Chain A
Amino acid sequence: MKRLRLVCVAVATIVVAACGSTGGSSGTSTNSYAGKVIKLGAILSITGAGSVYGPQSQNGMMLAVKQINASGGINGATIDLTVKDDASDKAQSAQVAQTMIQADQDLALLGPTLSNSAVAVHPLAESLKTPILAVSTTGINIVPDCNFPDTTPCKYVFRDSLGEQTAIPDNIQSYANDAHPKTGVLLVAQDDKFSSDGGTIVQNTVGQYGISLLKTIKFNKAEADLSPYVTQAVQLKPDVIFITSLGGIPAKIMTEARKQGWQGQFLGGNGFNTATVSAQAGAAGKGARSASAWYIGNTFPSNAGFVSAYKAEYSKDPDQFAAQGYTGIEILADAAKRANLTFTDLAGDRDKLRAAMETVNIQSPLGPFQFTSSHDVNQPVWVIAMDGNGGFTLVHEIKGS
Chain B
Amino acid sequence: MDQQLLNAIFIGSIYALFAVGYTLVFGVLDILNLAHSAVFMLGAAVTYSLVMNHGQSFWVACILGIAVSGFMGLVIEHVCLRPLRRRQAPPIAALISTIGLALIIVAAIEQGQPGQFFAWLWVDGPNSVAFPSGTIPNPTWHVGDLTLEASKVAIIPISIVLMLVLGYGIRYTQVGRGLRAVAENPRAARLMGLDVDRMISLTLVISSALGGLAGILFGVALGDISPYIGRDNVEVRGLAVIVLGGMGSIPGAVVGGYLLGLIEVAALVTLGSNARGGVAFAALFLMLILRPQGLFGAQLRERI
Contacts and interface: CB of A to CB of B under 8 A. Distances in A.
Contacts, number: 86
A260 B148 CA distance: 8
Given A224-B11, A231-B4, A261-B147, A280 B130 contact: yes
A306 to B, nearest CB: 23
B268 interface: yes
B4 A190 contact: no
A218 interface: yes
A259 B276 contact: no
B121 to A, nearest CB: 17
Contact of B132 (A225, A226, A282): A282
A51 B127 contact: yes
Nearest to A247: B128
B233 interface: yes
B273 interface: yes
A224 B125 contact: no
B100 interface: no
Contacts of B233: 222-225
Q: Of residues A228, A276, A280, which shows the largest number of chain B Cβ atoms within 10 Å of its Cβ? A: A228
B7 A225 contact: yes
A252 B273 contact: no
Chain B contact residues, majority secondary structure: helix
B274 interface: yes
A290 to B, nearest CB: 20
B7 A228 contact: yes
- Contact size range, B: 35 or more
Given A220-B277, A224-B234, A255 B4 contact: no
A183 B119 CA distance: 46
Nearest to A276: B127
A225 B277 CA distance: 12
Interface of B: 3-4, 7-8, 10-11, 14, 110, 125-130, 132-133, 140, 142, 147, 149, 218, 222-224, 232-234, 237, 264-265, 268-269, 272-274, 276-277
Given A248-B128, A255-B223, 11 more contacts: A47-B126, A51-B125, A217-B273, A219-B276, A225-B11, A227-B7, A229-B273, A248-B129, A255-B133, A260-B3, A280-B129
Interface of A: 46-48, 51-52, 190, 217-220, 222-229, 231-232, 235, 247-248, 251-252, 255-256, 259-261, 276, 280, 282-284
Top 10 A-B residue pairs of the complex, sorted by shortest distance between their CB atoms: A224-B233, A47-B126, A222-B232, A248-B128, A260-B147, A231-B3, A228-B7, A51-B126, A225-B11, A218-B273
